[in-house]
Structure 1
Amino acid sequence: MMLNILKSEFLKTKHSGLVRDAVIIPMFAAIVSLVIGGPEIFTQFTIYWWETLFLFLLVGILFLNDQKSEQRAGDFQNIEATDKTFNIYIAKIFLNILFIIIASFFFVVADLCLKMVFPGIIKIDVRLLVITCLGIVISMLWNIPLIYIVGRKVNSYVVIVLNIFLCFLIAPFIANSSFWEMFPYTYHYHIAEKLYGIKPSGEQLSTFTHTNINSCVLPLFLSLLLFLFFIILLKKVTTHDQDNN
């Protein structure tokens, strides 16, 4: 049954432009970073703008397209008028994660292509870049089920704007505080800082040596823990709403 739901959700995405968005947005992020920051600090600059703005923008676009798809298909009746609501949300979350991984792959590809354009100026440690992108994805997984929970009660556009606002404008100030663990929007900032020496403000650490991946365990662990918590919460919310209907 779950496989059939997953196939059904995937078919909804075939003509929604999500694959196109997952390719274009990371490439656009790389180009914008090059234009604004120049080739000398390209790698650090593009990682910063990817994790800070464009990745969460992509999450918002994936969510918005999904909401519009459900609205066109029957004003959300495909979700609400069934006892498989939670399973449908799990399928949606799985596909969103898949598209984010695809986007991260094309982000790496875009960086490497621009490196070929500026050989000797743009320097990229491919292995480190891949590990950093993977760490950033894991550190923001919690956000995907959260926006589906909030999106059940709040307007989709409000959810997207608030999500980006918290990540882009609020989280950098909290990331350096002693209570950053309490604000999950800071987790990916710590991944980029530990692996690439990029401060939450976007500046490069004056003295930095690449640290071991073990130093990133805490934000990764907290993100996965929150992801599981929000999945359980989503289950409770959908069950509660079904019982009341």
Structure 2
Amino acid sequence: MKRTLQSLMLGSCLALMQGCVATSNSFTFTADLPPDFAYVASVYYVPAKGQTCTVPRADNRVSQFNREWRTEYKPDAQIEIRRTRKGCELVIDYVELEINATYGKDWGDLGREYARVSVREELPETVKGTFNAAGESEFSGQCQWLFRTSGGLRRLVKILDCKKTDASGELLKTRPFAAYTLDELPGKTVKMKIKLADEERPYMKDTWVKVPGGWKRCMGKGFEDQYAFCYGNYKDFSTFRMPGGRICTIYPGCTEDKEVTP
């Protein structure tokens, strides 16, 4: 009977008295995130090199970590590198990272972005991630909140925008991303480090005007005008509602203290 890759690795190390140590079949993924941030990791596999088999999706369901991130979040995930399904040898292809960040108490007060860790048999040196002497590798990114208003009451909502940063901290055009080869991952640790930009900015241009203390929302044609571009009118502004229900005229420097039911 054909032996799986896992059984071959373990079987070769039965003689522990001779000092043999089993090869790890996993790596640790972890994340350093700002407050109120969490990630969900979805792991995807493909047939190993040389395999001609295929595995139905029902038998190769995506491994997922932190699915219940609101209540059971854990920063560390132990991710399997190779596995067998229906007799087919599979290897990790990529890890999709869903970055979730909350900015209010309502269920929908949420921003979401994505990052990825890809794994290949071979990679150019310019692309491949590197590990330090402790077996750790880190890739970085920066997220920024983009704000806008929505609905007839002009409730303030936020969109999360995340970009990869290079070694010097400069923002790149792509989302946070890292790539590694199969043979370098066993027993290692990969960390995603995300910072939050100090300032937020409007989601759409020419809809808010910068003033001392923050931004004012242009009125447009009225509250029914969902886009409400300024179009040169920098005198007529509207109020808006914060996620908690407060009616404000400036964001984020809201000085009004009146609370209303959202």
More strand by share: 2
Instruction: Normalising by structure 1, report the TM-score.
Output: 0.25
